[in-house]
A and B are shown apart, each in its own frame.
Chain A
Amino acid sequence: MKLLHYWRAMWGIIWRELWRFVTQRERFISALVRPLVWLFVFAAGFRAALGLAITPPYETYILYEVYITPGLIGMIQLFNGMQSSLSMVYDREMGSMRILMVCPLPRWFLLLSKLLAGTGVSVLQVYVFLAIAWFYDIQAPWQGYLWILPALLLSGLMLGALGLLLSSFIKQLENFAGVMNFVIFPMFFMSTALYPLWKIKESSALLHNLAQYNPFSQAVELIRFALYGQFNSHAFIYTLVAFIVFMAAAIVGYNPSKGMMTRKGGA
């Protein structure tokens, strides 16, 4: 009976998130437009017409559009993770968070369900994005489209947990602009999403180090290898550890007696 409770709560949260996503058509479209603009405009402008040097997992020369695709998948998940955290702040302001939090299930479980719901939404977005990219001649081996699913789940959870952690710090919706400037943009630009590590190394050793230790880079590399049917164990472990750390911190952050909530005067 207890398990059924858990299941119902989790399913309720996931369903609510998916429903919200599907009904908000603007959100669905805008979530797709962002990476597509990057792909069609930015990547086309920087198109290395004569090909990029070969680095694993690629086995031959590739166009910039092909390189940037896993990075843009990461971008979808990064924005989604932050967006879920934004919705947490919104829920708190609107009071629906209180309903969730009085539910007689452990808090960590509710947060994890929330996280899974957000990840599920991002996975949907990624597959639609990949389908469009496929028609733009960015095609991976078919196994890649299966192997990418577990990679997407892990990277989505990691970025979602980071969003949760951040949302425990944010008091008001207006502060979200700060998250954009101080988290999303630095994380995205200081990563392997847009340029390979060796290219960053050529310009600055510091940037190279930052990009290398950026968990977002590791998530992107995990996705990149998975898309070509390969497993990058280093990226996997790094992303997994980052998820555990962010999640643990977020659980503490949402604990009314210990975390940031007390300072802010509760949910």
Chain B
Amino acid sequence: MMKKNVLGLFLTVALTGTAQAETVFVTLEKDNALAVVDPVAGKLVKTVEIGQRPRGIAISPDNKFLYVATSDDNTIKIIDTETLKETGKLPSGEDPETFALNPAGDRLYVSNEDDSQVTVIDIKHKKAVKQIKVGVEPEGITVSPDNLWVASASETTNMVHWIDTKTNAIVENTLVDPRPRALSFTADSQQLWVTSEMAGTLMILDVKTKQIVKSIKFDVQGVTPDKIQPVGVVIDKDRKRGYVALGPANRVAVINAQTFEVEKYLLVGQRVWNLAFSPDQKRLYTTNGASNDISLIDLEAQTVTKSIGVGTYPWGVAVKP
């Protein structure tokens, strides 16, 4: 009934030619699977069975392996990015959800929500080297790009725990807004951005002082405040802009990383959860848990260009160049 016209086709071809071919991997919490998406063609390429309740996902620095937390299998699986076959397992402890890789890609830090601890894993030897007691219900976790700090946020204690990577011990705690969910360091490791799900805020912490220097409250026109639940947060390499997924508000907030003004709210799918940049940072991918799709954001035009259906409950996202 409806066909794209010749120009449309031509443009698609032209775009395919210029844009880098990258692969987007999305964990599907309900389907127990991994979705493989070609974002340039705007298509779901395939879906592979991966294990029980996959959530957190990360890609190794050499892009050869994916790490996927299969929560109900109580493990983190190592998947070959070419064959998509499982090549090994990591001893993550109970119910792993979120985890972080260090920049070298040899250490993995896992939040064990039920045990209120962080497990440090030596990837090469596939061994847990340390368990660090943190606050109640640790969720978001990240490693600073200079590899000095691991920051872990505990949802119930409302704290950010600063773990020294050399000693694997907590050095300091920062009290933050209720239910901190996700955190991310700036590329220069000077700032830590933390989202609070309950307060609907984004806090900027100074790494030197470990104190909150700025708090941003989100306010979307026409959306009730209870729906604004900030989750995933990413900041671009040049620290020009940061992006925060606002959960059931179905928006991604665009924040000027210099002035900390909210520049724009971009409409994406329902209950937007996690975010990932394309390798060239020209696009941003969002997982929309309730509408079962991912949205593509063109960061140059600052517009949402497409939403692609992937499967039930998309949770985490990782991009391979």
Query: Does A60 lie within 8 Å of B295, measured CB to CB?
Result: yes
Chain A residues with CB under 8 Å of B227's CB are 50
Query: Does A229 lie within 8 Å of B7, measured CB to CB?
Result: yes
Query: Does A230 lie within 8 Å of B269, measured CB to CB?
Result: no
Mask of A223-237 contacts with B, CB within 8 angstroms, 1/0? 001000111111000
Q: Does B174 contact A (CB under 8 A)?
A: no
Query: Does A233 lie within 8 Å of B250, measured CB to CB?
Result: no
- Answer whether A50 and B7 are a contact pair too, CB < 8 Å, given A63-B267, A233-B2: no
Chain A residues with CB under 8 Å of B220's CB are 49
Query: Does A59 lie within 8 Å of B306, measured CB to CB?
Result: yes
B309 closest partner in A (C-beta): A54
A52 closest partner in B (C-beta): B267
- Answer whether A61 and B304 are a contact pair too, CB < 8 Å, given A47-B222, A50-B250: yes
Min C-beta distance of A251 to chain B, whole Å = 31
Bound complex: CA A229 to CA B306 (Å): 15
Q: Which of the residues B223, B249, B304 comes within 8 Å of A60, measured between beta carbons?
A: B304
- Answer whether A231 and B4 are a contact pair too, CB < 8 Å, given A59-B307, A60-B307, A61-B269: yes
Number of A-B contacts (CB under 8 A): 68
Q: Which of the residues A49, A54, A147, A233 comes within 8 Å of B7, measured between beta carbons?
A: A147
- Answer whether A231 and B267 are a contact pair too, CB < 8 Å, given A59-B305, A59-B306, A61-B307: no
Mask of B246-271 contacts with A, CB within 8 angstroms, 1/0? 00111000000000000000011110
Q: Does A62 contact B (CB under 8 A)?
A: yes
A143 closest partner in B (C-beta): B7
Chain B residues with CB under 8 Å of A57's CB are 2
A229 closest partner in B (C-beta): B8
Q: Does B5 contact A (CB under 8 A)?
A: yes
Bound complex: CA A49 to CA B5 (Å): 31
Query: Does A230 lie within 8 Å of B8, measured CB to CB?
Result: yes
Query: Does A61 lie within 8 Å of B306, measured CB to CB?
Result: no
Q: Give the size of the chain B interface in residues (CB under 8 angstroms).
A: 29
A232 closest partner in B (C-beta): B2
Query: Does B223 lie within 8 Å of A231, measured CB to CB?
Result: no
Q: Give the size of the chain A interface in residues (CB under 8 angstroms).
A: 22
A236 closest partner in B (C-beta): B2
- Name the residue in B2, B7, B250, B269 with the highest tally of chain A Cβ atoms < 10 Å from its Cβ: B2
Query: Does A51 lie within 8 Å of B250, measured CB to CB?
Result: yes
Q: Does B11 contact A (CB under 8 A)?
A: yes
Min C-beta distance of A50 to chain B, whole Å = 5
Bound complex: CA A50 to CA B222 (Å): 8
Q: Does B221 contact A (CB under 8 A)?
A: yes
Query: Does B270 lie within 8 Å of A229, measured CB to CB?
Result: no
Q: Which of the residues A60, A139, A230 comes within 8 Å of B4, measured between beta carbons?
A: A230
Chain B residues with CB under 8 Å of A234's CB are 1-2
Chain B residues with CB under 8 Å of A143's CB are 7, 11
Q: Does B46 contact A (CB under 8 A)?
A: no
Q: Does A95 contact B (CB under 8 A)?
A: no
Bound complex: CA A51 to CA B290 (Å): 13
Query: Does A61 lie within 8 Å of B2, measured CB to CB?
Result: no
Chain B residues with CB under 8 Å of A62's CB are 267
Bound complex: CA A18 to CA B11 (Å): 36
Query: Does B5 lie within 8 Å of A54, measured CB to CB?
Result: no
Query: Does A61 lie within 8 Å of B5, measured CB to CB?
Result: no
Query: Does B4 lie within 8 Å of A61, measured CB to CB?
Result: no
Q: Does B88 contact A (CB under 8 A)?
A: no
CB under 8 Å from chain A, chain B span 295-310:
295-296, 303-307
A141 closest partner in B (C-beta): B11
Chain A residues with CB under 8 Å of B304's CB are 60-61
* 24 intermolecular pairs with C-beta atoms under 8 Å apart: A49-B220, A50-B227, A50-B250, A59-B42, A60-B267, A60-B268, A60-B304, A60-B305, A60-B307, A61-B250, A61-B295, A61-B304, A61-B307, A225-B2, A229-B5, A229-B11, A230-B3, A230-B4, A230-B5, A231-B2, A231-B3, A233-B1, A233-B2, A234-B2
Beyond the given pairs A49-B221, A50-B248, A233-B3, 14 more chain A to chain B contacts, judged by CB atoms under 8 angstroms and listed by A's residue number, are A49-B222, A51-B250, A51-B269, A57-B2, A61-B295, A143-B7, A143-B11, A225-B2, A229-B5, A230-B5, A231-B3, A231-B4, A232-B1, A234-B1
